[in-house]
Amino acid sequence: MDKNGWVTVDFMVAFMIILLTITSIIAIISDRVETVNSVQEIVEAKILEENIVGIIEAVYSGGPGCSYILKMPSKIRNKSYSITINSSGVYIFFGNNIGTEFINPIRITEGKHSNILLEPDKTYNISNTKFRDNNNEIIVKKI
């Protein structure tokens, strides 16, 4: 036996294959993690949208006098967002994404405006009142 030792060509080839395999697996895993994070953002935005639509429809179904206090989250997965509500639906804008959740046609106002902007980290009162033509109306007011 030689005291200095040496590396065979077989060992070098096996080591290179293992090294390439590990680096490619790490690249695939990091890509999958980014995809999961992106999907989680979209899911959280969709859940927020559906909750708002559900609240509006529940308040409308509850009749005049029914109201709900809605506290908006400060961020969606550490990203800022904005929500617009009008008589046709709820629209959320975050990052480069836009989400839409349609509702039954309901008269929704903020007093004078029919396009209502819900801001992050704010609280809103969503209430059902009679409108002058004896139909129900949803009014959204910042508290």
Is residue 4 one of the residues assigned to a domain? no
Distance (Å, whole) CA 12 – CA 14:
6
Whether this prediction's pTM lies above 0.85 is answered by no
Whether 3 is in a domain gets the answer: no
Q: Which domain holds residue 40?
A: 9-142
Note whether residue 74 is domain-resident.
yes
Q: Is residue 122 part of a domain?
A: yes
Per-residue pLDDT of the chain (143 residues; tens, 9 = 90+): 555 656 688 888 899 999 999 999 999 999 999 888 888 888 999 999 999 999 999 999 998 999 999 999 999 888 889 999 988 889 999 878 888 898 887 888 776 767 899 999 999 999 998 877 778 888 899 98
Q: What per-residue string of b and e applies to 76-95 under the rule 16 or more CB within 10 Å gives b? A: beeeebebebeeebbbbebe
Q: Is residue 1 part of a domain?
A: no
Number of domain units in the chain: 1
Residue 135 domain-assigned (yes or no): yes
* Residue 60 belongs to some domain of the structure: yes
What's the chain's Rg over C-alpha atoms? 27
Judge whether 109 lies within some domain.
yes
